[in-house]
Amino acid sequence: MKTYDLVELASRNLRESVLRNSLTTLGIAVGVASLVAMLSLGIGLQQLANRRLEHSGLFDSVLVFTPRGPEGFGPRRAASPAEPRRLDESARQEISRIAGVAEAYPEIRVPTEVRYNGKPFRTVVEGLPPSAAESAAMEGIQGHFFSKPDAAEAILQADFAKELDPDTARLRGRPLTLVYAESVSIGNFPPGRSPTGAAAAGRSPRSDRGEPAGFSVLRKEATLTIVGVTESQPNAGFERFGRARIFVPLDLAEKMIPPQISALLDSPVRQPAPPAQAGSAGRPTDGPLYATLIVRVADVKNIEPVENAIKRMGFSTFSLQDATRNLRQFFAVLDLFLGIFGSLALAVASLGIINTLVMAILERRREIGILKALGASDRDVKGLFFAEAGVMGLVGGAAGVALGWAIGHTINLGANIYLQRQNLPSQTIWLVPWWLVVGAIAFSLVVSLLAGLYPASRAARLDPAQTLKYE
């Protein structure tokens, strides 16, 4: 028999015992719905967690520093055979070019004195790259992110903002003055001279000999406009210098080069130029040295290769990779268990299919005999019962996906009403990706066909001469 005729006959047969077949199909639908609801909850939670973590900047970032340690206070590694690579602009460019790296920017935190309304406050200023606009910390911002990458603007951390003015809404648009120390290189000055205006100087002994010398610290002031107040803090998990409470554009922060202890220790002391080339060629570096680079990857999966590539360049790295791996493992196990519990209902439903079809065989013994007398082969009879199981599986699967979707939608709705009452932003907790829709219907079909195996082969084995004998 042709497949089309088989399906048509099967559908026709199913329409005959409407109540029984509908109940069986409903059983399958409930099974599929529970599977879809469970799995989509797992998927939704996983995506929610991933989204939150990715935005937090904790899991998609690698901290890069010279092997001695980010602060430069760690013991020197005597065993290190080669000179450590300098963490400067060229290194930053090189890291940026590693496949999978979204951006690499220096972590710049500057201790400052802040003047607001003439009153001084002491705090730490941090530079934020333009990409921080997308981070979770900026989601609940009062006001807006920096208008330009080098705008003279500041975003305040909420607690600090309250210190400035209890009514934080009034702060927006008001000026803020930063007083900070800028380090200025004083290399290549003739012996005995120092740059004009230097308020203090750190000098290595060699500066007397006209070689690259060290730096001088200048007192600087900058006036910024407050554009926003944020509750949380970007990169909060990586803070080591104490909380930064004022955020400024990274480009602006890079100009406020703080005295870097690593610079004092590394250069020029450890990289003396050969005497013959002393002069401009002997300059140890073309730009500032960075204490720490923050490298963000495009995809959390890239963390490990990127970290390894940076390590091969001779830098030390730090990331929370292990934490994300554990998290992924947790969700894999969660999904597995949700899937198993969801499948249980479908397994029960498959027993319903077996029961319904076995009943149908008993009822339709004579009809099977007639079919065989008319020339139906065992395969035709088997195919017919198989098709009946398949139609129930397909219809039940589709209904189940719809039902599961409705259940999930209700969960979402309820959860969001709760979140709203708690003054929290709404979230998609429950998610049905297209592959789950297709997969659930296909799974339902396969389970139904498996359930149809026994009844179908039993029907095919019926002896037509015997079945037609009964009056």
Partner 1 sequence: MSDAAPRILRAERVSRHYAMGSAVIRAVDEVSLEVGAGEFVALLGSSGSGKSTLLNLMGGLDRPTSGAMVVAGRDLATLGAEELARYRRHSVGMIFQSFNLVPRMTVEENLELPLRLAEVERGERRARVEEALDRVGLQARLRHRPSELSGGEQQRVAIARALVNRPTILLADEPTGNLDSRTGTEILTLIEEINRASGTTVVLVTHEEARADRIAKRKIFLADGRLVEERKPN
The candidate with the shortest Cα–Cα distance to 150, out of 287, 296, 248, 292, is 248
465 binds partner 1 (CB under 8 A): yes
CA max distance for the chain: 125
Name the CA radius of gyration of the chain, rounded.
35
350 vs 356: CA distance, rounded Å? 10
Q: ω into residue 268 within 30 of 0, thus cis?
A: yes
365 binds partner 1 (CB under 8 A): no
19 vs 23: CA distance, rounded Å? 6
Shortest distance in whole angstroms from residue 378 CB to partner 1 = 6
Shortest distance in whole angstroms from residue 7 CB to partner 1 = 12
Contact 176, 224 (CB under 8 A): yes
Contact 160, 123 (CB under 8 A): yes
Out of 9, 133, 411, 450, the only residue in the binding site for partner 1 (CB under 8 A) is 9
Shortest distance in whole angstroms from residue 362 CB to partner 1 = 16
128 vs 141: CA distance, rounded Å? 14
Question: Which segments of 152-250 are extended strands (E)?
Answer: 153-157, 175-185, 200-203, 214-230, 246-249
254 binds partner 1 (CB under 8 A): no
Pick the stretch among 78-86, 219-227, 284-292, 378-386 that binds partner 1 (CB under 8 A): 378-386
376 binds partner 1 (CB under 8 A): yes
Count the Cβ atoms, other than its own, within 10 Å of residue 77. Answer: 12
Out of 19, 79, 199, 374, the only residue in the binding site for partner 1 (CB under 8 A) is 374
Residue 276, classified by CB atoms within 10 Å of its CB into exposed (0-12), middle (13-18) or buried (19+), is: exposed
Q: Could you tell me how many residues make up the chain?
A: 471
Shortest distance in whole angstroms from residue 458 CB to partner 1 = 16
Contact 127, 252 (CB under 8 A): yes
In the complex with partner 1, the residue whose CB is nearer, 155 or 361, is: 361
Pick the stretch among 166-174, 325-333, 336-344, 363-371 that binds partner 1 (CB under 8 A): 363-371
Out of 85, 365, 366, 458, the only residue in the binding site for partner 1 (CB under 8 A) is 366
Shortest distance in whole angstroms from residue 23 CB to partner 1 = 19
Shortest distance in whole angstroms from residue 470 CB to partner 1 = 9
Out of 5, 71, 83, 208, the only residue in the binding site for partner 1 (CB under 8 A) is 5
2 binds partner 1 (CB under 8 A): yes
Out of 48, 113, 367, 453, the only residue in the binding site for partner 1 (CB under 8 A) is 367
Shortest distance in whole angstroms from residue 21 CB to partner 1 = 13
19 binds partner 1 (CB under 8 A): no
7 binds partner 1 (CB under 8 A): no
The site for partner 1 (CB under 8 A) is made up of: 1-2, 5, 9, 12, 16, 366-367, 369-380, 463-465, 468, 471
